[in-house]
Each structure stands twice: as C-alpha cells, then as structure tokens.
Amino acid sequence: MKTYTVAVVGATGAVGEQIIKFLAERKFPIKELRPLASKRSAGNTILFNGEEIVVQEAVPEAFEGVDIALFSAGGSISEKLAPEAVKRGAVVIDNTNAFRMDPDVPLVVPEVNKEAIRQHKGIIANPNCSTIQMVVALKPLYERYGFDRVVVTTFQAVSGSGWQAVVELEDQVRASVNNDQLPLKVMPVGKLDKHYPIAFNVIPQCDVGLENGYTLEEMKMVRETNKIFADDKIQVTATCVRVPVYRGHSESVYVELKEDFDLEEVRELLANFPGIVVQDNIQEQVYPMPNEVTGQTEVYVGRIRRDLHHSHALNFWVVADNLLKGAATNAIQIAEALISED
Amino acid sequence: MKTYTVAVVGATGAVGEQIIKFLAERKFPIKELRPLASKRSAGNTILFNGEEIVVQEAVPEAFEGVDIALFSAGGSISEKLAPEAVKRGAVVIDNTNAFRMDPDVPLVVPEVNKEAIRQHKGIIANPNCSTIQMVVALKPLYERYGFDRVVVTTFQAVSGSGWQAVVELEDQVRASVNNDQLPLKVMPVGKLDKHYPIAFNVIPQCDVGLENGYTLEEMKMVRETNKIFADDKIQVTATCVRVPVYRGHSESVYVELKEDFDLEEVRELLANFPGIVVQDNIQEQVYPMPNEVTGQTEVYVGRIRRDLHHSHALNFWVVADNLLKGAATNAIQIAEALISED
C-alpha cells in the first residue's frame, strides 16, 4: 500500500490537534507525519500513534518531501505558505478562507461534490464550518427536488473563533459566578476594535462587517454554497450569530424546493444520505442539540416540517461539531478521497 | 383625575413584580393596588410607592371592587379566575395564552393595533413575548409596503420560562465551574418528560410540540401575527429556540415586502416609529444584543439589510427585554390605553 508524508500546519491549534487525532484513528496511510506550527509552538511535542513527534516551525523548507499538507493556521499563513508547499510537490488541503473562492481551487465537501477534487491544481479548499453542515443537509434535497431560495440563521459556537474564544467564554462564566468583571478581548472578532461579552449573550456578528450590510461569515455561506453546488442560481440569505456554546454549530434552515414534496420522503432521503443522522420527533422531544453532537463526525438533522403556507417550502434544524465535520473531519475526508484516486 | 383599583395576579412572579414596579414608576392613577398570588405566596408583602402591601390569595372574591386586573400567573389560573374578575366588573388584561385566540378577546400591542382595545368584552389579551417584539418591528413596514411572507428564527432567554428556568441556568453554570452534575428539571418545558441542559447548549424547542411538527410557541407567532394585524394573508414561518441567556429575546427576521424599497427609507421608518430604537451599523459593530436591552422597554432593531437576490426582501435583527416589552410593559401600555379612553 502506498504511504504518504503528511504535514499538518497549525498542529497545536483546535482543528490541527483534531486532524492529527483522526489521521491516527482512521489509519491514514502515513509514511511520515510532520506537525508544523508557529515559531512559538515549535519544539513542543505531540503524540501520534503512541510516538512523540517534535513540532517544527512552519517555514517553506519544512514542506520538502511532503505529499499532502493540511493547513489550519489562519488565512495569512495559508496565503504565504500554501504556494510554497505546492511548489515543493505537495497537495494542500486548506481549511482557511484564503483560497476558497479562487476559480482554480476546488471547494469540496465530499458528500456533495467529491468529483471537484480532480480539478485541483495543487490546492483544495475546505469550506467554512457553517457552510459545510448546511450543504450536506441540502444535497439530497437538491438532487431530488432542486431549490433556489434558502434562508438560514446560525447559532455558532465560540470554538469556531479558536481556543482564545473558548477560554474567554470559560473565564467570563467563572467571573460571573464570582461576581467579577473581566476585560473583553476576543468576541466577536479578535482583530476588531469593539468586544462584547458572549456569556449569557448572543452576538449577531461572526467575522467582519462588509459594506453591503452582511458579515464576511454570511457572505461565505452565500458564495460557497453556489460554488459547492456549481449552481449560481441558488439564492442563500444568511444571518450568522455567535452563541455561548463551546462546541457545535446549529442552524435554522428554510428552503423553497422547486416542487411539492412528501414529508416522509424528505425524512427518508435525509436519513439515507451518507454522513447525515436524522433525529426528528418534536412530540417526543427528539431533535439534535450542540451539547450532544460534540465529538461526532456526522451532520444531525431534526425539526423537519412543512411550511404552513407554501407547498414547496420546508424548515429544518441542522447541528454538527464545527471542529469535526465543520473542519477536521471534512479535511480528512478530502485527503482520503484524494488518495483513493491515486 | 379618575383613579382605579388594580389587581395584579401573579404578583410575586417574574412579570408580576415588574408590572407592580411600572405601575409606580409610570404613575398609573391607582386608588388601591391589590397584589394577588397563590395560597403559598399569600401573606408575603410587596413594596409599592414606599408602602408595604400584603399579598392576598387569588380567589374569586379578591376581585370585588377591582377595575383592572392584570393576570400573569399561568394559563390555568387565567382560565379559572379571569371570568370571575370580569363577572365582578373588572377589565382583565391577560398575559397568558388562555384567551389570545378567542374571537371575543382583542389581542393588543398598542403600537400596532391599539384600536382593537375598544372591542373588548371584559378580557384583553397580551400577546406572546416573541410575537410582540416582531410585530412592533414589522408594523411600519406593513403600513408603508405591506408584506405576505415572514421567516423568523428566535433566540429566547430562559426567563421566558419563569424564575425556575433562570435558577436552573444559574445552577448549571455554577455546577459546570465546579465540575458538578445537576439533575435536569425545567428546560425546555417543565411539564414535559425530557429535560436537557441549557448552559452551553441551545434547545430548538420552546413550549410543547404539536402534531404538525411545530411547537406551540412557533404556532403562537404564526396565529397571533395574523390576529394582531387582522390579516390572514400574512404567512409567518417560525423556528423558536431557547438559548443560555437570562433575559432578552433576539430574533432573526426575513420579510418579503410587496414592493421594492429604499433601504434608507426603511431605516427611517423604523427609527421614527414609536417604541423602536434602531442600532444599525455592522461595519462599526453596532447592533442590539440581549445583554444590553435588559431593563429597557423599547424594541431594538439592527442588521437591517437587503436580500442579495430578491428585490423586495429584507433581513433584520430584533431584540427586546422579554419581561418588559415582551410582557409587563405591553400589559401596562394596554392598561394606559384603556384608561385614556375612559
């Protein structure tokens, strides 16, 4: 069996750690694992298959001999180093926003558009976490009925903003119990001027605000959905909101299908689709919630119900672990699909 | 000036307390305040205008001589005692779901349909908290443009389920800091079998689940909106979600107006409407959040933006204090409108 030298850039971050765990758990055919990180984290060790491996600094030369490089260290690192990795013969699977809308870069959710991988020119992009779980749930509906309009509102966990945001929520909660006040530093967007509490609050902003009144996160959901389905006629309207949840994004999705549908058939289509788990019975209080999907790799769908007025419209609720299917799992699935074509 | 004997039923509850505070603050012309509650709470005292008043048991005879009775003690108490109060000559303003859809009972948000008060036959209903803040924000758009379809997703605070739910969230948060586990008792719906954690979680269920796949809370938003606007052609689709916030409901609203619109005009219409405060500039990180509306009586609107595809469609974000405009403030406003007609 062919084996591969795999670099993980951002090896000590929230998603990088999980990717390394999956490479071991899913028995990815590894020749050499090369964990890379910032200068600050270089020299630390990580555990892989019971072996201690030293984290190296992510510099261009670190990609010599690498077959596959999984990037999760922020957009600017990807912009700088992904081309260096490609130049040295690696295929890059990039988890940041750096290349997602580049026409030369396939944007892939394996359950939805695995075939796009073949068109890569060195870089394959992993979509935004909120987009991934929505398009997985929409795919079986797209195939059977087609749709144009989607209205989505998200409930996004703080881990989507990295470990600092998780620590900030933990600290705020501890402070509230002790009646302390803490300086605000991270939420909603670390690099912006204003910071708001996230404990016991919701913030209708994920990522920076744009001139058109939307946030970048909302525009990612709009544009990435068009690109993944390779269908510019799909009209997504998104409202992205941060909630005081550590892990697990939830989404309220309204979709207008192109034709009338049978609700039982919709439930079956979703339940039979790879990567989807249906948990749906409101009268028995069965529906997915973020605290129950932590650590799960699937996309969970519930609250499936007809619009009361529009015969083609449907509502549902989608929950997934944003660090797994929203990031690490999807990246590994892309890597697995890539080597299966080898 | 004419003065009134006012009974507050549920005087020791979350909303009742606030109503009594407002009666004093807003200088309601009171002849006698009569705080009523369950047998268990009777005998306690409450403070009103610096005076201690003993809480009496809410029994039919307690309404003798009462002009206005404000009920916030749950649907079954209203069902039993509101007719007794009416029989004794009181006008009832009911904060529960008991009579809202009764064709003989006006359902009133003063900014929207104050004139409906005149048709009362003894009982006037206060709408559900989630409905109130949405219809206030929709009213100026309805007047200027008209609309048919509304898609709303709510982020509802635990205080909407009463003090027990607030205490449950506090206890769960304290337990998480101390790494304890607590029995689950209240969320999402106290009287149902299954209970889920609300700390660091979101629960896509407010109130009981119905056969049509919606929850009662969602159907309240649908039906009450039709009744308040006296327009059965309005098509509301609602998804109601409980979030770990103590106070302040937030809503993501998508509305398809009947004609094209100018976004600046929409902002002005909203800003000039009584009871609405516009906080809207995503690039400057200006938008309403529940932690900032606590204690405020207005409805806050932000994230106002055009749909990217549909020329008649608009998105916005509405936040209000669910115990105030969502309950106590609206009830007091109804009482004030009622006596202004006297």
Q: What is the pLDDT of residues A74-123, one digit of tens each?
A: 999 999 999 999 999 999 999 999 999 999 999 999 999 999 999 999 99
CB contact under 8 A, A213 and B243: no
A213 contacts B282 by C-beta, under 8 angstroms: yes
Residue of B250, B254, B284 lying closest to A237 (CB–CB): B254
CA distance B290 to chain A (A): 6
A212 touching B, CB under 8 A? yes
Please name the residue of chain B whose CA is at the shortest distance from the CA of residue A211: B283
B290/A contact by beta carbon, under 8 A = yes
CB contact under 8 A, B151 and A155: no
A128-151 tens-digit pLDDT:
999 999 999 999 999 999 999 999
- Taking only residues 124 to 183 of chain B, the set having a beta carbon closer than 8 angstroms to any beta carbon of chain A reads 149, 151, 153, 155, 173-174, 176-177
Mean pLDDT of chain B: 96
Q: Do A202 and B176 touch (CB under 8 A)?
A: no
- Inform me whether the C-beta atom of residue A260 falls under 8 Å from chain B C-beta atoms: no
- Cβ-in-10-Å burial (0-12, 13-18, 19+) of A311 comes to exposed
| Ramachandran region, residue B71 (left: φ > 0; alpha: ψ -120 to 50; beta: rest) | beta
Name the residue among A196, A209, A290 with its Cβ closest to that of B282. Answer: A209
Domains of chain A: 4-126+327-340 (3.40.50.720), 131-322 (3.30.360.10)
Active site residue A129: yes
Contact criterion met (CB < 8 Å) for A244 and B176? no
Is A243's CB within 8 Å of B243's CB? yes
Measure the CA–CA gap between A78 and A335, rounded to whole angstroms.
Answer: 17
- Per-residue model confidence (pLDDT) at position B181: 84
From A249, A309, A310, A312, the catalytic residue: A249
Find out whether A62 and A34 touch, Cβ atoms under 8 Å. yes
CB–CB contact B291 A177 (8 Å)? no
Q: Which amino acid is at A57?
A: E
User: Phi, psi at residue A154, to the nearest 5°?
Assistant: -105, 155
Considering the candidates A129, A206, A240, A310, report the single residue annotated as catalytic. Answer: A129
pLDDT of residue A181: 84
B233 touches A: beta carbon within 8 Å: no
- Residues of chain A with Cβ-Cβ distance to B173 below 8 Å are 173, 176-177
Pick among A167, A210, A220, A239 to test the B interface (most B CBs inside 10 A): A239
What single-letter DSSP state applies at residue A42?
T
Report yes or no: A285 at the B interface, CB cutoff 8 Å.
yes
Residue by residue, pLDDT tens for chain A (342 residues) are: 899 999 999 999 889 999 999 999 999 999 999 999 999 999 999 999 999 999 999 999 999 999 999 999 999 999 999 999 999 999 999 999 999 999 999 999 999 999 999 999 999 999 999 999 999 999 999 999 999 999 999 999 999 998 899 999 999 999 998 888 889 999 999 999 999 999 999 999 999 999 999 999 999 999 999 999 999 999 999 999 999 999 999 999 999 999 999 999 999 999 999 999 999 999 999 999 999 999 999 999 999 999 999 999 999 999 999 999 999 999 999 999 999 987
Residues of A within 8 A of B305 (CB-CB) are 212-214
Do the chains contact at A254 and B215, CB–CB below 8 Å? no
The Cα–Cα gap between A65 and A33 comes to: 11
The reply to whether B54 touches chain A by the CB within 8 Å rule is: no
Query: Catalytic: A240?
Result: no
Q: Torsions phi, psi of B265, nearest 5?
A: -65, -40
ipTM: 0.96
Q: Between residues 300 and 329 of chain A, which touch chain B (CB distance below 8 Å)? A: 302-310, 313, 315, 317
DSSP readout, B282-342? GGGTB---HHHHTT--SEEEEEEEE-SS-TTEEEEEEEE-TTIIIIIHHHHHHHHHHHHT-
